[in-house]
Chains A and B, each alone.
Chain A
């Protein structure tokens, strides 16, 4: 794993990966969304508003996946002192917050015709809002504590502590009576008809690749910034 601690080696892998993730991700999102919007059937009760599913579910999953990645990277940073772990965690924070916001917004738009309200304080909705605030706090901490492009140990510890919210979001619809419906897709199977499921899965993969491409771009940006800073320092010293 430490082989990629060398930024040159990491970059030689990250550069082509960014491009492929981006192209493949955008292609899959186009296919999935086009199919979902124009060819997939309307839902028995929700009608055409069911189509928000194809954006809402991938963004919220990635919002949760983003923090899971931050937590794992934080553990790797603290335990192995891997230099790229902190860079990765920092790179995930902003797109993670953005995807959480997108999930909340699409959810709110969906809730208006379906539930009859823009917003409710039920377990699921509230815990995702908490996730959004955790992201904002993480970003603030990370930018306040910038150390050679990475994040401080306090930020890493916050990344681990914040992971507490992920199982709570996941279980919120099971533990509490909530307005949000329980999970449709579980390890045991799916209660979403296959006509809806295929475009959804295509979009989930597409958005994941796009998310990966954004994170890689940001990691490269952070590494480049570190390089510039180091060079400026050297030039100033000479």
Chain B
């Protein structure tokens, strides 16, 4: 084996080992590095009342209700398996619409309502021109699970 090949083998081996280590570490981090909890996570992990958590999921169709004060909004977040009622007072982002993704910081109350302090909208990977809106929205409904995979 020539010295050149030996160096190459060492470099490639080091690269593979490093990438492998990185992937393993990142994979192990899975739970801690999650940006938010899904409604199913909340059912499973039972966070305490008043504990700060971040909730993420899809806004259920037909669930958004705006209160008379104009800034309070109640809605249901779901991930296909579990449902979590939530409320937020403040200006909502443009992308906060029914059937779209949402991520909210807040805490659970004793009666199981999630009270959000901040509300972020999540965009999905689909980019659709306005003119095609009616056609593709139905196609999108089957893809709502992409958020929580």
Contacts and interface: CB of A to CB of B under 8 A. Distances in A.
Partners in one complex: yes
Interface of A: 41-47, 50, 53, 71, 74-75, 78-81, 113-117, 120-123, 157, 160-161, 163-165, 167-168, 171, 174-179, 181-184, 191-193, 195-196
B142 interface: no
Interface of B: 4-5, 7-8, 10-12, 14-15, 18-19, 21-23, 26-27, 30, 33-38, 56, 92-97, 100, 103, 118-133, 136-137, 146-149
26 contacts: A42-B129, A45-B100, A47-B94, A47-B130, A75-B12, A79-B7, A80-B8, A113-B93, A114-B94, A115-B93, A115-B95, A116-B95, A120-B35, A120-B120, A160-B14, A161-B18, A163-B19, A164-B18, A164-B22, A167-B22, A175-B26, A177-B34, A177-B36, A177-B148, A179-B122, A193-B136
Contacts of B94: 45-47, 113-114
Given A120-B120, A181-B124, A193 B33 contact: no
A120 to B, nearest CB: 7
Contacts, number: 146
B132 A193 contact: yes
A117 B125 contact: no
A177 B35 contact: yes
Contacts of A163: 15, 18-19
A47 B123 CA distance: 12
Given A41-B131, A46-B94, A191-B127, 5 more contacts: A41-B129, A75-B12, A161-B18, A163-B18, A192-B127
Contacts of B18: 160-161, 163-164
